[in-house]
Amino acid sequence: MSGLEIERKFLVKGDGYKQQAYSHSRIKQGYICSGRGRTVRVRRRDDCGFLTIKGPSLNGGLTRYEFEKEISLDEAEHLFALCEPGIIDKTRWLVKSGQHTFEVDEFHGDNAGLVVAEVELHAEDEPYEKPDFIGEEVTGDRRYYNSYLRACPWQSWGG
């Protein structure tokens, strides 16, 4: 997949999303490059590997270019050796809400306790139904970007 990615990001209240989820998977991801608004990421999602390139965020963090290619699990494991220090470890829960699917990321390790949800849209002004577990919107707040959490884990924020 490649093209523009339009998404909104929110903090999550409670753990009700787990009962509403129709699927979940474990994700390990690292960053080969995460500077100046551009990232090259390697990801293992269950038994699949992915290489993703993202461009800088536009429109307050709502839109950015994304290119993603599935790679073998062996290739992904080898690419982890090239990653910057700090690995993201999370469980992704998929929750249907109206015509959209919210991806809820429950972080582990140094980011344990942080739970965020994202919804991908076809247009920046596209309406969507918020599930009851959706809290404060953090779209465009770079502290909640995985590439930032890799270097500055949520537990180190002292909040």
Enzyme catalytic residues: 31
Determine the Cα–Cα distance for residues 3 and 5; give it in Å rounded to an integer: 6
- CB of 112 closer than 8 Å to CB of 91: no
Is the distance from CB of 5 to CB of 63 less than 8 angstroms? yes
CB of 144 closer than 8 Å to CB of 152: no
Phi, psi of 151 (to 5 degrees): -90, -30
Q: Give yes or no for a contact between 116 and 144, defined as CB atoms under 8 angstroms apart.
A: yes
**Is the separation of the CB atoms in 52 and 68 below 8 Å?**
yes
The token duo for 128 is 């969507």
Q: Positive or negative CA dihedral for 110, 139, 47, 38? A: negative
